[in-house]
Amino acid sequence: MSTGSQGDVQLETELFRVTKWTIEPGGAIPEHEHEYPYVVVPLVTGTMYVVNADGSEIEANLEFGVSYTRPAGAVHRVENRGSEGDIVFVETERLS
């Protein structure tokens, strides 16, 4: 079953993993837990929705090139509810 999302690992070392994520309109990254702190660099301006494990939601307004960070331990699903285009971002996890 297609989720409408794709993660391509671009780089992985003992210190970092860099993944480019693409979420198609109507697609989602299934629920997952972040084991490591991470930084997100949006490659588009748009809105994605973060659905937390407890059901609460965050409307994340992305701006091209404006980074944000989150701590380890987050459990959520990430959705592109728009119909205009893909949500694309690069996620860098600090592995140690």
Return the structure tokens found at 96. Answer: 């140690």
11-45 per-position pLDDT tens digit: 999 999 999 999 999 999 999 999 999 999 999 99
Q: What is the per-residue pLDDT for 16?
A: 98
pLDDT at 84: 84
Domains of the chain listed by start with CATH number: 5-94 (2.60.120.10)
Copy the structure tokens of residue 50. Answer: 């973060």
48, 60 in Cβ contact below 8 A? yes
Q: Which two tokens stand for residue 89?
A: 């971002």
The DSSP 8-state label assigned to residue 44 in this structure reads: S
Q: Mind listing the pLDDT tens digit for each residue in 77-96? A: 999 998 889 999 999 999 98
pTM: 0.93
Q: How far is CA 24 from CA 12, 18, 27, 65, 80, in A?
A: 25, 20, 5, 19, 7
Tell me which residue has tokens 């860099």.
Answer: 18
